[in-house]
């Protein structure tokens, strides 16, 4: 009887581990689509993806807790960033880990890297920018689909033309 319990516990553990791996893999695919659309500066595709994968009550919070954005503010800011971005040498969004917080809620730890040129002054030279961030993304299952409900930066670094910038 004891060995049967261990077999069942082992099967549950494997199923749970597989579910985590599948969810992490599925969320990574969403992050990868997000990166591709940003790189292409495909505003229409980007907007469609955000509307499909961010909840209506989405909230972004910067590391300093002072900067916050709604879903629409996120879209608007992203449009502006796409217009300012020149050459992109590297963009990575990587789902590092996932932790279930109930049946329909999970915390995904994500690492972000951006390297490229941005045009701050339309008449000036492009500025070389590098930034990294670590984020806590809370995803929730709605209508059978996982959606991003909140994102909080836990770490931020940024440099422009090789000089560290204060405030991430």
pLDDT tens for residues 19-54?
446 999 999 999 999 999 989 999 999 999 999 999
pLDDT tens string 104-135: 999 999 999 999 999 888 888 899 999 999 99
Q: What is the dihedral of CA 30, 41, 45, 95, to 10 degrees?
A: 10
How many helices and strands (H and E) does the chain possess?
3, 7
d(CA 82, CA 73) in angstroms, rounded, equals: 14
Query: According to the model, what pLDDT value does residue 13 have?
Result: 40
pLDDT at 1: 47
| For the chain, percent of residues with pLDDT exceeding 90 | 70
The total of structural domains in the chain comes to 1
Residue 148: give its domain's CATH number. 3.10.450.50
- What the block records as the tokens of 135 is 């984020």
Q: Phi and psi dihedrals of 67, rounded to 5?
A: -85, 125
Is the pLDDT reported for residue 168 higher than 80? no
Residue 90 has pLDDT above 90, yes or no: yes
In which domain, by residue range, is 97 found? 2-164
Q: Is 128 helix (H, G, I), strand (E, B) or coil?
A: strand
């Amino acid at each position: 009887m004891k060995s049967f319990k261990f077999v069942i516990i082992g099967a549950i553990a494997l199923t749970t581990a597989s579910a985590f791996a599948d969810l992490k893999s599925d969320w990574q695919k969403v992050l990868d689509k997000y990166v591709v659309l940003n790189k292409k500066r495909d505003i229409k595709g980007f907007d469609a993806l955000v509307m499909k994968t961010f909840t209506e009550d989405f909230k972004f919070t910067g590391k300093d807790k002072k900067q916050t954005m709604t879903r629409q503010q996120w879209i608007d800011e992203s449009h502006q960033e796409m217009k300012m971005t020149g050459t992109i040498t590297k963009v990575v969004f990587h789902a590092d880990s996932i932790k279930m917080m109930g049946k329909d809620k999970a915390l995904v730890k994500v690492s972000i890297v951006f390297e490229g040129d941005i045009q701050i002054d339309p008449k000036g030279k492009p500025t070389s920018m590098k930034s990294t961030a670590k984020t806590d993304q809370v995803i929730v299952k709605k209508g059978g689909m996982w959606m991003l409900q909140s994102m909080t930066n836990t770490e931020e670094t940024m440099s422009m033309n090789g000089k560290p910038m204060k405030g991430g």
